[in-house]
Structure 1
């Protein structure tokens, strides 16, 4: 057995007023086992709320690391920080994507409430509504049945920040703009224009479907690389990954690009720009992690997110 002293990081913790304490775990224990032992003594300080740091270090210890590999031995001292109330990443994604589904449904079916008059939906409004609903239903199903998360939880307060992007930009702003009278079948801005041309609309839908299906295939590929409950990753290969490190982002952007072409909506343009910038930033960070984790084994000619360009 290994005896480890656990002390509060900074001021005393309200959920663990008995700190510091000595906790015993097996010699081959992982950091997660130590957290579980701490949670046994202080149930309100459950595993996902804990951040452990070895005395004299700044980096937090990863749950899957063996204590001996982290430099933790008998009589070591670790500091625990309360990360606050946690919520699962899966729940976060479900909440994020439910917002646009609800808002678009309300604005599409009850326009008189928001615009003060009924709206005879144009073809472009019908197509846009169908594509938005299909996209976010797909995201919800992927969240529930496809995605595997490297981190189980995040601080609860962050759900409001994360949800704002989808609820406001893809939900409220996009719905307000798409289903207004200016996009209706009787609007001079639509009548006689390309936005009521079914050949144009179906062409955009076909391109959008290609992007959505390609995005789905990359998610299936990523799922196959990580066993259930595990965090270990492998180098992804195959469709999309032979060109870039993050093809799921590329196809996501491509889908919204075609949606924007189809609608010409200012709100869609805004969501496309903000979303593309956000995903580009994430892509750069994940590309660097891939190269650092796999070193010389990682394909050198692979771009970050956009084939042949970036």
Structure 2
């Protein structure tokens, strides 16, 4: 039997016009199943989550997976859930990085008199180090925006729209408000006219190297996936033999460079620790996924984030 009929049941919020059955070929891709149900119900394909009724496992929206490969058979039950309003991942990242891209310059210049109103007047001009830190923050998030628009290829097209505030809070609050307010204070470690030059030059060197290495890792990851697909491959190249996610490793090194230039301001270190813990969690999940997806073809990593440590 080349064609089968699947029983369709809504899960959670009812979907208007969702058919009770759908006929499809065993050789059809799961992407075709998503497209057929989207066309019949009027629900965007990006809002639908389809799972098997037998074990609740996901039926992916994939051009490379057939209905037969999912284990679905004639009269099998599938559940269709409406995930609600969605927003494109690319848009999410643009919004996330926009805050910390603009906030440092705003805090250091036009908003400076308002933020530090309780200091003796006139306020001292921003120090050379404070201006330098502002430049590094701006350069970092300009690079992030560039990569979001021109480099990254996303495995999922969208995410629930209500998550945008939660996702943005980390960067706007910790990388934006937190670092800019404390580093640019008139009495911060970075406000000095006599900075430790060794810290400044070491930080600049570390920041520059790490940004280039991070970009290289992102380009390697980009080239593993053809445009418009969700396919994955085993990454290799500079850094990938050390840890699972060298892009995260170089990201941390770049922020350590900012920390040194800021004359070791605690707010930068706080951001590194919070972000590092989150990246360590993401890196372990990716390591587990690589092991499951590629089996013996994948060389297991003992450390996923920091070589020899985490």
The TM-score normalised by the length of structure 1 is: 0.90
Say whether 1:240 aligns with 2:239. Answer: yes
Provide the secondary structure at the position in 2 that maps to 1:304.
Answer: coil
Provide the secondary structure at the position in 1 that maps to 2:187.
Answer: helix
C-alpha RMSD over aligned residues: 2.0
| d(CA) in 2 for partners of 1:236, 1:18 | 43
Per-residue deviation, 1:217: 0.6
Q: What is the aligned length? A: 300
Say whether 1:270 aligns with 2:262. Answer: no
Residue 178 of structure 2 is matched in structure 1 by: 173
Per-residue deviation, 1:20: 4.7
TM alignment of 1:41-190, pairs within 5 A: 41-43=40-42, 45-64=43-62, 65-110=65-110, 111-116=112-117, 118-183=123-188, 190=192
CA deviation vs aligned residue, 1:104-147 (integer Å, no higher than 9, x gap): 12112211122125440111101100000000000010011111
Residue 282 of structure 2 is matched in structure 1 by: 282
1:242/1:302 contact within 8 Å kept: no
Consecutive unaligned residues of structure 1, counting only runs of 5 or more, are: none
Q: 1:24 to 1:309 in 2, by over 3 A?
A: same
Q: 1:203 to 1:70 in 2, by over 3 A?
A: same
2:102/2:138 contact within 8 Å kept: no
Per-residue deviation, 1:301: 5.7
Q: 1:301 to 1:176 in 2, by over 3 A?
A: closer
Per-residue deviation, 1:42: 2.1
TM alignment of 1:32-47, pairs within 5 A: 32-43=31-42, 45-47=43-45
Consecutive unaligned residues of structure 2, counting only runs of 5 or more, are: none
TM alignment of 1:286-301, pairs within 5 A: 286-300=286-300
Per-residue deviation, 1:275: 0.7
Provide the secondary structure at the position in 2 that maps to 1:147.
Answer: coil
CA deviation vs aligned residue, 1:233-267 (integer Å, no higher than 9, x gap): 11111111121111101100111112112212221
Provide the secondary structure at the position in 1 that maps to 2:216.
Answer: helix
1:125/1:184 contact within 8 Å kept: no
1:8/1:20 contact within 8 Å kept: no
TM alignment of 1:1-40, pairs within 5 A: 1-10=3-12, 13=14, 16-40=15-39
Tell me whether 27-36 or 80-89 shows the greater mean CA deviation: 27-36
Provide the secondary structure at the position in 2 that maps to 1:225.
Answer: coil
| d(CA) in 2 for partners of 1:25, 1:289 | 30
Per-residue deviation, 1:204: 1.5
| d(CA) in 2 for partners of 1:178, 1:25 | 60
The TM-score normalised by the length of structure 2 is: 0.90
